[in-house]
Structures are given as C-alpha cells and as structure tokens.
Structure 1
C-alpha cells in the first residue's frame, strides 16, 4: 500500500519532499474483500483509508480478470486484479490516505490533527513528547458511505454559544482508567468549558440534538468535494465491522463463456476488432487456434457475439437481466454438467456425475449430485456501504463511489480456483413439504421479520423521503437449503480436512431451483486438491448427510435454541446459534441469516416436520 505524495508544509516553512513510501502490505484478494476502497486499515500505530481506484498506481499493468456475463450486468468493460507493489522501486500497489486525521498523544493528551503534531518525516510521533501517536478511536459515518472525523470540538462545547473552532483552546483526550466504558474517555478543552465524557456519543439522537449532520465527506477519493447527504450520521469505532461493508458480486465461469474460443476472444482483446485485424492477429499466432480447436472464422463469429447485446442464442445466451439470472444460468449448467475436454487454462468448468450408485442419496430426498472437479469464481467489488450491510436488491439505493473519474470502465476483482459438490433436492418431495401449513407458518415468521427490517431501512427521516422497500426473498425452500448447506459444511470441516472458513456456499433457491453448491474458496490452486470431490460420491455423501442430520437434531443450547421465536442479527433466524449451524462469515453468503434447524429435522414438539424427517 502506498500513500499519495506528501504535500504538507511543515511549520518551519520548509516544504517536505514528495513521499510515496510503502507503509504496509495486504494480499491482493484482501483488497477486494477485506481492505477494499473506503475501508480503514491499521499499520503499526497509524491508520489509513484505502484510496479510490483512480489513485491506484500501475493499474495499467494489473492482470485482467475475465467474466463477460458479470461485466455485462455491472455495466463495465472488464475487471482487474488490484495492482501489486514493485519491491525494487518501493512503489506501486494501492494508494492509501491518512484517516482519521485526529490523533492523540498518550503522554501530553493533546488531541489534534496529525500534521499539527509536526512529526518528523516518516514518523508518527509527538514532537514534544516523542511518543507514538494514537489514531482517533471514533469516526462519524452514514449509510451512503460518507465518513469523517468525530466532531470533538462540537461534542465538548455543547450548550456553549461559541462559533465552532474559535474558542482558541486546545483539545485533550484522556482516559480516567476507572473502567473500559465510554464514561472513562474524557474530552477537555483548555478554553475552560467543563470536561465531557464520550458516553452517549453512539446515540444518534445525541448527535442530532447537537446539530451534527453528515458533511458528505469522502476521504478515500483524492480532492473529492463534499456532497449533499440527507442521511443522519452515527458514531462508530474505527475498527468496527460496521464501518465498511463491501458490495460484492460473484459469478461462476460456466460454458461457453470463459471456455475455449470464448476465452481466446476475451484474453486477446478481439472484441470490437475488425475481421481483417482478427485474421492478421491469428495468422501471426497459429498455436492459439490449435489450443482451442477452432478456426479463424469461428473466432470472428464469437467476437461478433460479444458485441451483440443478446449474445448467442439458446440456453447459453448472455444474461441481461438482474443478478438472479446469473444464478439461473449457473443452476442449468450445474444440472447439465460439462465433461473435461481441454486443459484448465481453456476450460475452467468441469462438472460430472459421480460414478457411484445414486440410490443411497435418493432415499434421503436428493435427486442427484454433481462433482464440480474444476471451478472458477470471480468476485467483484462494485461499491460499499457503512452501517447496515445492504440487502439483496437494495445495493443501488445506497452505495459509495469507487472513483471520481468517469472514464474508468473497470472494477477491482479476484478469481477463485477450486472444486465443489452440487446437491439437488427432489422437486416433488420438496413441493409437497413446503406446502404443509405448519412449514408455511414457520417460514412466514422469518419473512415477516425480514419485511420489517426492509421497511425500517426504507423509512423516511427528517430531510429525506421514504424509499420503496426491497421485496423479501425468504421462503421455506430458502430456509431449508441454507440450513442444509451450513450443516454439510460443518460436517465436512470435520471430515474433509478443510476448516469451515475455507468452504463456501452458493444457494440456488427459486420456483424452478432447489440446489446448493459447496466449494473451496481459496484464491490459488490449493482449493482443487480433491478433498471435497471424494466426499461427493453418493456413498460418502449419504454418510455425511446422516451424520449432519443427527447433529442437527440436538443443540447444546436446546431447548432454548429450538424453541426460540427469533434469533440472530435483526431476528432473521429461528432455531440457529453458534453451537449448531452458524458458520464463519466468509463461508456464508447471507451473513448467517435465514437459518432454521426445524426446516431440516423438524421441531421437538412435532408441530413442524423437517424435510428430512418425512
């Protein structure tokens, strides 16, 4: 990570030399999922915010990530890996800016902007005490992604009629030490106003009463002007997980896109090129045609298909609708399967039926299973929010910019190579089960809570009109599939040698879909070593399912867990807790929401029959 050039003028009047030193490092994949644009990252005793993609260095040389289906939906021309730094030059990589600006000294308790401490170049110390400075623990943020320093001056001068910043006093921040509560964090000003603790700073009403509104600041965008914002900001801890939620879009590479001649057209950037250019290009590289087993005319035809908004006709058409269309196409590809015919470079998707007898799993309510021996997933960071994570369908209502430039037509992305197992439930048995009144009523409880949450987020506030709430997608089918995926991942984490955090779920729930894909989630080839595939054989899978269902019958927190009317974040779960089916957040695509053990094994009272207890 690289900070921008230092344009600060020191108090002595001498202009400091431009600086673009490397301040720290994270993995490329983390720049998409953990430390993406707008997030805060701690480096030793300092804190920085990751800059917009228009400030990243050497992006022109960054590796491209290809996924035409997802690029069409997100409205960009392509994706790129975050740039890697150049160790020899000590430059390159992702740009960061100092944030928050306010720091405090643990010795003299001074609380002011970092530059006002006048630290020596390259250091973050108090020039008076020579002690390492401590970045502010508190920031203000709103759901539109804006973030700024906590207004300490306004907080300590509340009720005092003075113009902001004109008391000529100096702020101090000290800790009373009596406890770890906010009451022990004291803010003082040398102008003589009474000291004030930070107690109550996290109450939105307290900020509103002081007239503190969102200033629309975007410190991750270089030279960005404040923009109008009607959201009420809230106080957050600098390291809080609520301070940054990436909006991640994912897609599996399924045929024909990303395979064979389609992959050749993408990687060689032949989209939009003339026939003459393509012919000349391929004549100079005859090996390319033999590798993908095609002709020059075949390449020209595919290049035209890329330009066509409708894409190729038939089941392989490019999806142009909402994100759900991606899942529908993936579901069809997983059910249909794809035998291996090329090397991994030209065929990222291999999906074949197991060799064993499927009757072992059919008795449990599964219609079939597919072994995804080769899988490629592209994860794209399209935006981010702060506060509450966005629900599916409302991402565009509140999202933050990744760049100020209009000419940037790419988004940061990463690709995951791995393997997985696809399970599909018996549609007839599932339809009969989800029509039972007791199942419908239990699922309706979760759906009602979800609708309440969506209405709360769409509610009007002072200065802002109400927005139309997103529609809840919760059904009994979704609760069943999601809980089953968690139960199987927990079981495989004990048997397959992978920790639960290394496995991911992909839920296919809809009127014509009833399947789950469980796959490895690593950004290198270590995710395709065969450990999951072996457990997808019907005999092994049958043992896994029976063991998982036996564990789901009883939780160490029962009967409280099973009899719970609502649990989890925003009360979006029923019988689910950390002792039974919850997973690491990296494994779940719904933040551990929409789970209920009763959907798979039934409740203890016998009022609700689980799908697998039929």
Structure 2
C-alpha cells in the first residue's frame, strides 16, 4: 500500500498553528496566539506524546502526528537536527519497517529568560480534543465552533479558554442575564483495542441512533451533578425533550449499545481506509489506559569499529540519496557532495572511500526479510553491548569517552559488602537516548500479544523519515553479581514448587492476555528466567534504600537490568540504577557518591534487612499465585518491594522477595546469611 493510500485524510485540515498565527498577524488580529502550554520532554515522550490527551488549565489538547511537526522543523531548515545513537536507530528502523528513519528531538529551544524570543518558531503542534464542550453555567453541550476562544496574553497561556458567550444559566438559578461562562471538555470518548479513538456521538446517543424529530441541529445539554462519579451524566435534547443517561454505556450490557469503531486516528486527522471491525469501549478523557507509549532506549556506549563503519556508510547513503548510484565512480565529485552534506571523508584514501561507497550501496532488505528479522529480534539485543562494555576491564581506575558521554570509575569492594557482588562501577556520567515508535490504547504494547496492528502509527506515511527521541544525561551505579553463584542458584530454583506456580500463573496470564497469538507462541519464551526475578527484586529494594540517602526521590531513580542465561550469548547478572534528566546538563552526583565502599555496604545491608519484613506479612511473604490467579509476582507488594511506574521497566511484574533472601517457610534466597 502506498503512502497516499494508507489512510483516508483530508489535506485541507492541516494543523499549522504558527502559520495560523502569521495569518492573524497579517490581519492585525491579536486574539489567536498559538502557544497554549508547555511540558517537559520526558512527559511528552512517556505521558503526553502524539495521540495522547494533555490536560491544560481550561481545556484538553492532543499533540498531532509527526507529519505536522515537519512543518515546524522546516522553518529551521530542510531536515531536523538528529540525535546520534546508531544502535537504537537501527532497531527503530526495523520496528517501523522504514530504512531511512532518523532520531530527532522535539521542536524546542531553551530561552535565555522567560521573555526572550529564542524558540518562538518551534513547538509541538496540537489540536483541541475532544471537540465536544460543556458550558459550566448552563450545561449546554456543543461542538467547538459553538464557543468563543480567548487567548490574548502572550505570557499567560493558562488564560487560554473557550467560553459560552451568551450563557443564561440553568433553569431556576435566578437571574437569566446573558454572561460569558467557561466551557470544559465533555469527558466521554470511544476507543478500540487497535489504537483508534473517537468522539462520543452524543446526538445519536440521546436519540438512540435516529435524527432528532424536532430539529436538524438539536440543542443538547449534559446534566452532571456528580462530577468524578464515572458515567453519571444525563444527555438531554432541549429540542425534543429526549433524555438518556450515560451509565447505559457502561459495563458488558453497555458495550452492545455503543457504535462500531470507525477506525479514526484523531492525531493524524485520518481514518482507516477499510474501517475497523472492532467494537468500541467507553472511556473517560483522563483514563490512565488511554495512551501507552511504545519506546526503546539505550545507554549510549562507545561505538565499536564495526558500528562506526556502519554509521558512516549510513550517513553517506542518506547524504547522497539518488546521487550515490549516479556518481559513485567519480570520487572527487563524491567528496564534494559529501562535504556539502556535512559528512567528512577528507581523511579517507580512495580505496577506503570506494569500500565505504560499496557498503552504502547495499540494497535494503526486502519486506519479507524485514519481517523475518523483526520476528527473530530479541529486545535483549539492545542490552548486550551495554553489558559487554560495563564488565570490560578498565585501564587504570577511570575511563572517560567524550563522544558517548560515558564516564566509568571502578570502586573497591569493601570488606563488609556481600560476597555475591563481584563488581561495582560508579557511572559518573551517562547519556540515555529514548525513542518513540508508536503507542497503544487500552493495554500497553507488551500486553497485547505483539500484534502489529495494535501499534498506532505516529505518521500518515508507511515509511516515516524520522521519529521523536530524547537525550537524558545523568549518573548511576552498576553492580555485577557472581555468575557462578547465580547459575547454581537458578538451577536450584527451577525445580521448586514456587517456580512451577509462577510458570503456571504466567501461562494463564499469557493465554488470557495474548489470546490471538497464544496458540502460535510458547508462553515460556516470554517468561523471564529466575535470575531476572532475582536481579529485578534486588534493584527495587536498592532503589528504595538509595532514595533515603542520595538526595533523589525514588520516582526519579530507574533500573536497567542485565539478566539472561547462557543461551546463545554470554550470560549476565547485574543491574544499573541511574537517574537522568532530559532538560539539563546532568545531575548532582548524589547517587554516584553512594558507590564508595563505606557508603554502599550499609545501603546493601539495610536494603536486604528491610526486605525480610513487610507490614503485610505473613500474607505477602507466603503469596504464591494459585489457579485461577494469574498475577506475575510472589512475595512482593507496595509495602516492601514494588516501585513507581517511572522506576520499573516491567510494571512491577516478576518480583519475589523469596528469591533474594530466605523468608519463613522458604529456603530459596540467593543472598545467604552473612555474619
């Protein structure tokens, strides 16, 4: 299917807020300023990305797809700036099935002070969504065009508001003098599991699928006296006096009364060309399962010679484009063209340049090869280079790599440190790159059976040229566990009743969640091995203890886990606890200081001691999933082990304190009693 055929789209409705602002300026109008709010880069990646709904003080908006972002970047040049992370870029290209995808930042530039003009030509384009609003004064329910928009203060975006210009109040409220009242979003939406989202059809709902008998454009009201009580509103038609409560759309009985999905992607202003066969579900504007980002991230390590050569070949291919095949034999002309494209090959001799051009000319994978590569790819492949670099011996006691931003320092193992920990590194500086490849609704990506159709696209084109990424800089502590001890412990755990219970719970969970793919996939391939449960639980208790002493909150600390057995690759058992910031030059060093032997030893000791007790014991300590239960944790709860969503890479799954230490009735602890 060609790019033009991918979606049904009306190009007359483009979102170009800065272009609109310029048109208003030409008309000497001052009532429609473009900026309506701001957000941190991390929140725009993980909470309010394209297709999500962002709450502003007076209304809600939805960031558009990346097609509209191109118009913003083109104000600065033909191509947006790029973030250098070849290892992550290649995975994103494979996932999006587009060989030319680049990683680009958000269209944003910091200001010297609040009123300086830097970055005024940049921003994230958004549209108001939902576009059904309700007047807070008279309960009138109407479309966006029925309300006035006011946004005249250049430095007070919180004053941007939609208003009902001639509100006379509710019946029986006293004075009926017309006045201006704020309008707020009507909070009901329709969603489907394949990532589509649509406005709730209030006019059809109240008239039970038929047009109003009294008016072509009926006057609707939303009577809502119990704010925050779910579907408590009643939709009324003032033209024909029909009424219908929204609670009829709730529950299993309500699903049959909702319309079929239209296949709408409001962030793209487009529809699926063949519609959507799914039934819809009622959803609230602020629902936590409205938008789940699908992201990949890496800790940037120094490039290997192979990675450097591959990246240079890719830059040559991108810079030359169609000219590569045409001028490949004219090396002098190629050097000039690459110089104009900011690719420096001046130091390369002709022979090496010929080899480089040969590598750049390799034909891309066929669609069948792309699909096979995607099926065979394991997310662990992103972690392997990081693990290999972190366990590599360091010449001296400190290694700094300016290009990647990675600075490592070895730490001695204190005499009181647990013997199961064999290596400690202070990660004084690190750079983490995160890329967005799409999003899902209702369930996050790793819970929807890996079905490609569940991943909602970020662009209307099937082969996007770029996707949004962020760079975080920070610090961390790396701990490596004794591989021999972990392997022996893992072999012992695999034959226990506790592990068999976890296996069966995972099977039940997999078959229920992955119903469409469970018959083709062995659930055990998706179950994390015991060493992962061990390292994961250890990381969580360390995050809790680090937060008490390092100066960062537990929610600002995150884990990166390296835990896989020797199955076709070098085994690993270690973890990196780090804190990063995307809107500053780095962090304060409080976490790195805890890697010093005199400080790390009491942190580890206290963390393991506290893990032995939970305020929910003995219930927590003895928790094991039994049929028909399908939860993916054992002796773990929010009182003892579980962490915030920003810290945990597995949404608090695959945790069990019994794998760390011996709890009453269990002798499965990896960390043995230590005198």
> How does the TM-score come out when normalised to structure 1?
0.83
Distance 1:437 1:588, change over 3 A: closer
Q: Distance in 1 between matches of 2:481 and 2:296?
A: 26
Alignment of structure 1 residues 49-448 onto 2, 5 Å: 49-56=62-69, 57-60=71-74, 61=76, 62-75=80-93, 76-84=100-108, 87=117, 90-117=120-147, 123-129=161-167, 130-158=180-208, 163-164=210-211, 168=215, 169-177=218-226, 180-182=228-230, 184-190=232-238, 192=240, 195-207=243-255, 209-224=256-271, 227-256=274-303, 265=312, 276=332, 300=353, 321-336=377-392, 345-354=402-411, 356-357=412-413, 360-361=416-417, 363-391=418-446, 394=450, 396-406=452-462, 408-436=464-492, 440-448=496-504
Q: What corresponds to 2:608 in structure 1?
A: 549
Q: Distance in 2 between matches of 1:259 and 1:33?
A: 32
Deviation of residue 467 (structure 1)?
A: 7.6
Deviation of residue 587 (structure 1)?
A: 1.1
Asked whether 1:488 is paired with 2:542, we answer yes
Distance 1:154 1:498, change over 3 A: same
Distance 1:211 1:229, change over 3 A: same
Q: Distance in 1 between matches of 2:120 and 2:518?
A: 49
Q: Distance in 1 between matches of 2:241 and 2:428?
A: 68
Contact 2:433 2:471 in 1 (8 A): yes
| Secondary structure in structure 1 of the residue aligned to 2:476 | strand
Deviation of residue 547 (structure 1)?
A: 0.8
Q: Which shows bigger deviation, 224-233 or 137-146?
A: 224-233
Alignment of structure 1 residues 406-555 onto 2, 5 Å: 406=462, 408-436=464-492, 440-459=496-515, 471-511=525-565, 512-524=571-583, 527-555=586-614
Contact 1:215 1:226 in 2 (8 A): no
Distance 1:599 1:404, change over 3 A: same
Q: Which shows bigger deviation, 194-203 or 264-273?
A: 264-273
Contact 2:399 2:409 in 1 (8 A): no
| Secondary structure in structure 2 of the residue aligned to 1:422 | strand
Distance 1:73 1:526, change over 3 A: closer
| Secondary structure in structure 2 of the residue aligned to 1:455 | helix
Q: Distance in 1 between matches of 2:239 and 2:145?
A: 22
Asked whether 1:586 is paired with 2:646, we answer yes
Q: Distance in 1 between matches of 2:598 and 2:457?
A: 50
Q: Distance in 1 between matches of 2:660 and 2:608?
A: 8
Distance 1:541 1:289, change over 3 A: farther
Give 1:575's match in structure 2, choosing from 611, 635, 640.
Answer: 635
Q: Distance in 1 between matches of 2:131 and 2:482?
A: 57
Q: Distance in 1 between matches of 2:518 and 2:659?
A: 39
Distance 1:303 1:67, change over 3 A: farther
Deviation of residue 373 (structure 1)?
A: 2.7
Deviation of residue 454 (structure 1)?
A: 2.7
Contact 2:536 2:655 in 1 (8 A): yes
Contact 2:400 2:408 in 1 (8 A): no
> How does the TM-score come out when normalised to structure 2?
0.76
Kindly report the root-mean-square deviation, in angstroms, between the aligned alpha carbons of the 2 structures: 4.1
Deviation of residue 226 (structure 1)?
A: 5.9
Give 2:57's match in structure 1, choosing from 44, 61, 66.
Answer: 44
Distance 1:155 1:223, change over 3 A: closer
The Cα offsets for residues 538-584 of structure 1, whole Å up to 9 and x where unpaired, read as 443222211100111111222222223359x9622222222212222
Contact 1:3 1:23 in 2 (8 A): no
Distance 1:327 1:425, change over 3 A: same
Q: Which shows bigger deviation, 331-340 or 212-221?
A: 331-340
Q: Distance in 2 between matches of 1:153 and 1:570?
A: 41
Q: Distance in 1 between matches of 2:617 and 2:601?
A: 26
Q: Which shows bigger deviation, 229-238 or 81-90?
A: 81-90
| Secondary structure in structure 2 of the residue aligned to 1:139 | strand
Deviation of residue 343 (structure 1)?
A: 6.9
Distance 1:271 1:307, change over 3 A: farther
| Secondary structure in structure 2 of the residue aligned to 1:442 | helix
Distance 1:474 1:232, change over 3 A: farther
Q: Distance in 2 between matches of 1:183 and 1:39?
A: 21
| Secondary structure in structure 1 of the residue aligned to 2:49 | coil
Deviation of residue 271 (structure 1)?
A: 6.3
Deviation of residue 116 (structure 1)?
A: 2.9
The Cα offsets for residues 167-214 of structure 1, whole Å up to 9 and x where unpaired, read as 63432111234x85346422222355653332253425412x225221
Q: Distance in 1 between matches of 2:656 and 2:641?
A: 9
Distance 1:201 1:374, change over 3 A: same
Q: Distance in 2 between matches of 1:306 and 1:501?
A: 43
Contact 1:68 1:257 in 2 (8 A): no
Deviation of residue 489 (structure 1)?
A: 0.9
| Secondary structure in structure 1 of the residue aligned to 2:181 | coil
The Cα offsets for residues 286-313 of structure 1, whole Å up to 9 and x where unpaired, read as 9x999xxx87789957787677799xxx
Deviation of residue 139 (structure 1)?
A: 1.1
Deviation of residue 270 (structure 1)?
A: 8.0
Return 5+ residue gaps in structure 1 as ranges.
8-15, 311-317
Aligned residue pairs total 585
